Amino acid sequence: MRNDDDPVLDDPVGQSLGSRHAHLARRIGRAATYPTGVATFSSVSADPHAEDWSDLAGLLGPGAFADMFNCPALAPANWEPVFSLAGLQMIWSGDGRPGRPVSESGTHVVELGADSAPEMLELAARTEPGPFWPRTHELGTYLGVRVDGTLVAMAGERLRPPGWTEISAVCTAPEARGQGHAARLVRALTELIVARGDRPFLHVADANTGAITLYERLGFKTRKQVTFRGFRTP
């Protein structure tokens, strides 16, 4: 299992785009970004030089949104800050309780494909688990819980730096909360990820104490504090 201090986790966007999401990467030099509709995240490496920022500006175009995710480096002064949000990067410690069969409680966990994209988008819009776009599900496996055919909870795989898979888009419709759906989905994804030889990690906003409590119960621990930042290119 990868070490807690694995440096690839300090640049998860760049490391994903340089490895298992290379087929999706748009790139100039060391600057890279995901296609529109899949994700907005961009990377200039964990230790960017001035030419990396100008390469990214060339890639995104003028006046464009540059979602730098948790890149610790600040964009040049002429890039307008759009948002800044404090958060945590958490990693699965391996001593939680991931291993229950997904159907144990009788709730049916299903894999969500492209045909479920409209419902996934609607659920994400209602619950705001973080950015979710029409093709985000292409980044990995997405699982959901349906009640009477309606999607009430989902979670999926997003960034995939070498040796790691990020769990993301964890959300439950307000009327279906407190029934263990999110816990069941995160456990199911953890099982899938560990079986593949990867280690799960995730990101959460500092203020989201309910989700942090849930993740800690499921065996995740904080690796570091991060700041999510977005800018507008000059």
Ligand X SMILES: CC(C)(COP(=O)(O)OP(=O)(O)OC[C@H]1O[C@@H](n2cnc3c(N)ncnc32)[C@H](O)[C@@H]1OP(=O)(O)O)[C@@H](O)C(=O)NCCC(=O)NCCS
Q: Which residues bind ligand X (CB under 6 A)?
A: 127-130, 153, 170-172, 177-183, 204, 208, 210-211, 213-214
Using the minimum distance from each CB to ligand X, give the nearer residue, 109 or 182.
182
Both tokens of 110, joined, read 């299903």
Using the minimum distance from each CB to ligand X, give the nearer residue, 57 or 159.
159
Q: CA-to-CA distance for 126 and 136, rounded, in angstroms?
A: 16
For residue 182, the minimal CB distance to ligand X (Å) is 3
For residue 155, the minimal CB distance to ligand X (Å) is 8
Place of tokens 């949000």: 85
Give the max Cα distance, the chain. Answer: 55
Q: Which residue of the chain is nearest ligand X when measured via CB?
A: 210
Using the minimum distance from each CB to ligand X, give the nearer residue, 93 or 208.
208
* Encoded amino acid at 104, one letter: E
DSSP one-letter code for 74: P
List, in sequence order, the alpha helices (H) in the chain.
Answer: 12-17, 50-60, 117-127, 181-195, 209-217
Both tokens of 201, joined, read 């990690």
For residue 127, the minimal CB distance to ligand X (Å) is 4
For residue 216, the minimal CB distance to ligand X (Å) is 9
Using the minimum distance from each CB to ligand X, give the nearer residue, 160 or 184.
184
CB 32 within 8 A of CB 68: no
Place of tokens 């200039």: 44
For residue 89, the minimal CB distance to ligand X (Å) is 11
Place of tokens 């995160």: 186
